Amino acid sequence: MPAPSARQPRPRPARPPVVIVGAGRLGGALGLALASKRWPVRLHSRGTEGRERAETLGLKPASPADLRRARVVLLCVPDAAVPTVAAELAATLPRTAALVHTAGALSLDALGPAKGRARGSFHPLCAVSSPRDSLAGHAVAVSTPSRALRDVLRRMAADVGLQVLDVPESHRAAYHAGAVMSAGGLVALADAAVAALGAAGIPPDAALAALLPLMRSALRGVEARGLSGGLTGPIVRGDAGVVEAHLGALPEEVAPLYRLLSRRALRLAGDRPRPESRAALERLLRP
């Protein structure tokens, strides 16, 4: 009797024709990344300026025939424009073309009613400042109820070098808030730190130049040793005297942020501060 055959792995989905709507930074970066991996990708822009940007990047513009053949249409447009652009496209695209937005905060409902069309979202967690920025090494949040579309989006992510996060629609706001805190929130935190150095008489340019390497070293520590292991400073040492001096020296608008972050750091520090030091810190850090 022959041995039972092992289950065959699911074949990788093909690279279907993709049309990217929007010739901005993200649209250009995705277009270049997919084209480099032999995806049949075209860039669609209604404006002359957008078409010229696509040509400058070496990306092919989408013809009407390309739109009819597309199986995935990626909307790389401002969040507020997604419903309008999706409605316009849904009126002309064949039902076989999936609509996918790249907005982290929007639900799939922003793409309009499904009516037999696959819908999805593909949101790279990358601060793209140029269409020539590489997306490799970052994560991407994927959401779609369509198994076939999910397989294609996962193939797309793998080819581009993105790690997939599956985000349930019901928790999209929490996901996006975390993403915003790690990017724009980090910039706002840097601004507060520059203001603190300003209270010591250090000019903003010099302060930022000094703080950026420090921030990078902190992130390297987190990458190597995790959140708790990467924590440094007076909180983890239990140095209440230093924290008290900080609170007395900080600008009035920065001190509440310092307290909030330090309370979070104290929880992260676990049992490393001695009990008496922890109690002193808790008294100092009360709102």
Which pLDDT tens digit goes with each residue over 83-132? 999 999 999 999 999 999 999 999 999 999 999 999 999 999 998 988 99
Count Cβ atoms below 10 Å from residue 40 Cβ, excluding itself.
16
Q: Does 2 have pLDDT greater than 50? A: no
Helix then strand count (H, E) for the chain reads: 12, 7
Q: Does 159 have pLDDT greater than 90? A: yes
Provide the pLDDT for residue 9: 53
Q: Which of 145 and 3 is assigned the larger pLDDT?
A: 145
Provide the pLDDT for residue 47: 76
Q: Does 61 have pLDDT greater than 80? A: yes
Q: Does 270 have pLDDT greater than 90? A: yes
Provide the pLDDT for residue 1: 45
> Quick one: pLDDT band at residue 13, thresholds 50, 70, 90?
low
Among 146, 143, 150, 147, smallest CA distance to 169 is for 143
Asked which of 50-54, 223-227, 255-259 is least confident by mean pLDDT, the reply is 50-54
Q: Which of 53 and 120 is assigned the larger pLDDT?
A: 120
Contacts of range 246-254, beta carbons closer than 8 Å, 24 or more positions apart: 247/284, 249/199, 249/200, 250/196, 250/199, 251/195, 251/196, 251/198, 251/199, 253/195, 254/192, 254/195, 254/196
Count Cβ atoms below 10 Å from residue 127 Cβ, excluding itself.
14
Q: Does 286 have pLDDT greater than 90? A: yes
Q: How far is CA 66 from CA 35, 71, 72, 192, 269, in A?
A: 15, 10, 11, 49, 56
